Amino acid sequence: EIVMTQSPATLSVSPGERATLSCRASQSVSSNLAWYQQRPGQAPRLLIYGASTRATDIPARFSGSGSGTDFTLTISSLQSEDFAVYYCQHYNNWPLTFGGGTKVEIK
Partner 1 sequence: EVQLVESGGGLVQPGGSLRLSCAASGFTFSSYSMIWFRQAPGKGLEWVSYITTSGRQIYYADSVRGRFAISRDNAKNSLYLQMNSLRAEDTAVYYCARDGVPGATLGDYWGQGTLVTVSS
Q: Which is nearer to partner 1, 7 or 77 (CB)?
A: 7
49 binds partner 1 (CB under 8 A): yes
- C-alpha–C-alpha distance, residues 43 and 65, integer Å: 24
Going across the sheet that includes 19-25, the strands are 4-7, 19-25, 70-75, 62-67
Amino acid at 48: I
Q: Which is nearer to partner 1, 77 or 93 (CB)?
A: 93
Name the residues that contact partner 1, by CB under 8 A.
Answer: 32, 34, 36, 38, 42-46, 49-50, 55-56, 87, 89, 91, 94-101
